[in-house]
Amino acid sequence: MKLHLLGASCLLALLSACSSGEEEQTKIPEIPSAKQIPITLNCVASTTSANEKANVGTRVTDWGYESQDKIGLYVVNYNGTTPGTLQNNGNHVNNMRFTYNGTWTPDNEIYWKDESTKADFYCYFPYGTPADVTSYAFSVKEDQSTETAYKASEFLYGKTSGVAPTAEAVNITTKHMFSCAVINVKAGNGFTDETLAQSAISVKMNGIKTGATINLTNGIATATGTAKTILPLENGNNRSYKALIVPQTASGSNFITVNIDGRDFNLKKEFTFVGGKRHTFSVTVSKTSNGINVGIGAWEDDDIDNGGVAE
């Protein structure tokens, strides 16, 4: 009886060893997943001048982003060496919102497709929900007389192409899509700097379309809608004003109106606003007119002061 039990035990041990060996031989090793590389972003607004950059009080509309500013990002992969096309949906990254707080943080972490596929990056400010990336509706404020309204009228756009996957932050420079009109009121015949300093002065721009459709694939803005009146922001306390204007050609007998103590002085002009440019209008108010001659200066300060007379 003991011999039978011993034999049975040996047989079980042998079968168990064989079974264990078969499992080890047929076990398929796990294949490690592809390495995911997070996409990080370094988005900056294009600078305009050394003087503005030195101004601690400047805002995104001048040269830098502020805390809690939000941008939208699209990422479009290449197909081999061929760039992809930005679509409303189906891109590698669709309108991911990033918030600035010293660094840019996405709502959800995003990754490169793999370790070799290049991509194009499309970025815009302020963040929104474009239904059509080729015709995104936006508008500047008619009343830009406050800092908040002026900033809300800004639209920035940037594209970085052919970026290879990297652990480093992708650099994108966003540029001004609209024009900046700077109006400087000067004393002419019948006025002095002292009398203007004691006067109640207001400025407005007339015949300006405030609506725009923006093509996020190429950064082109087109003016839409009917002409309106824009109230600019006082730019310091030296009788200077500024407003953001959708690129367009505007004209009128009262293109710029300067009201001094209840009396309107109108500047007649036809002018073409160019995106990304700062156009300077030095308007001389005069109780007698010697004609009008208003020039422009690029948004990249060119230190040109061109005069004009309004009556």
- The answer to whether 182 and 235 are in contact (CB under 8 A) is yes
Count of CB atoms within 10 A of residue 67's CB?
8
Domain ranges of the chain: 41-133+146-176, 179-310
pLDDT class of 237 with cuts at 50, 70, 90: confident
pLDDT digits (tens, 9 = 90+) for 281-290: 999 999 865 4
What would the CATH number be for the domain defined by 41-133+146-176?
Answer: 2.60.40.2620
Q: Do domains 41-133+146-176 and 179-310 have the same CATH topology?
A: yes
Q: What is the pTM of this model?
A: 0.79
pLDDT digits (tens, 9 = 90+) for 48-105: 444 443 333 334 446 589 999 999 999 999 999 999 999 999 999 999 999 999 899 9
Q: Does domain 179-310 have CATH number 3.40.630.190?
A: no
pLDDT class of 135 with cuts at 50, 70, 90: very high
156-163 sheet: strands from edge to edge: 41-45, 170-176, 156-163, 119-125, 70-77, 93-100, 104-106
